[in-house]
Amino acid sequence: MPDAVARILTTVRRLDEETTLRGILDALADGAASEDLRVALLLVDQRDQRDRGDLRVYRHHGFPPSDVPAHVRITSSVEMSQAVVRCQTVRIGAVGTPDPSKPRFLQIAPGRAGLILPLVVDQLAVALVFLDGAADTLKWGDVVEVLVRHGSARLESVTSQRTVEVLTASS
């Protein structure tokens, strides 16, 4: 566990140092990937509150070429829809038979488990972090959840700071 704490601390420090939205997202993606998991960071692209919108792939790590994440509709998976609408973590279990209606990267192989963690800013999911790892321990999920929660706080802070800068500059 000391190694995990060191990795968390390294990523949290990097998140704290970043001053751009892109930098925060990159730090989060790198930190999650350091847990030796399949990771996809997907940006929520909603046209308005009624439209569930799309998920655009920002970064991914550890996927074989046949399962590389692609841009998808949020509604292409019940789990992704739940994570976006409820702004809560969603667990995904292994499937015995592939589900052709679900994106390939979300199809969890036997012996593995998946999580979808939302990055939340102002009570809205702005991105999803998908993780896939060994099912025998979900401790990796706890580690990445800490990073995602801190990443959300940093995104909100930088967004607020930018808003204040814009408003005070135009006065």
In a domain, 9, yes or no: yes
Strand order in the sheet with 38-45: 72-73, 54-61, 38-45, 124-134, 112-121, 90-92
Number of domains composing the chain? 1
Residues 46, 78: Cα–Cα separation, whole Å: 17
For residue 117, the enclosing domain spans: 2-157
Say if 162 falls within a structural domain: no
In a domain, 80, yes or no: yes
d(CA 161, CA 20): 11
For the domain that residue 84 is a member of, what is the CATH number? 3.30.450.40
- Tens-place pLDDT, residues 11-52: 999 999 999 999 999 999 999 998 878 999 999 997 655 667
Residue 148 lies in a domain: yes
Name residues whose C-beta falls within 8 Å of residue 93's C-beta, 6 or more positions apart in sequence. 108, 113, 114
pTM of the complete model: 0.90
**What is the distance between the alpha carbons of residues 108 and 94, in angstroms, rounded to a whole number?**
5
- Give me the residue label for tokens 């909100």: 156
On whether residue 169 sits in a domain, the answer given is: no
Q: What is the pLDDT along the chain (171 residues), one digit of tens a residue?
A: 578 889 999 999 999 999 999 999 999 999 999 887 899 999 999 765 566 789 999 999 999 998 899 899 999 999 999 999 999 999 998 877 788 888 989 988 888 899 999 999 999 999 999 999 888 776 888 889 999 999 999 999 999 888 888 888 865
C-beta of residue 144 within 8 angstroms of C-beta of residue 131: yes
In a domain? residue 10? yes
Residue 166 within any structural domain of the chain = no
| Rounded Cα–Cα distance for residues 37 and 116 (Å) | 13
Give residue for tokens 């939205």. 21
In a domain, 88, yes or no: yes
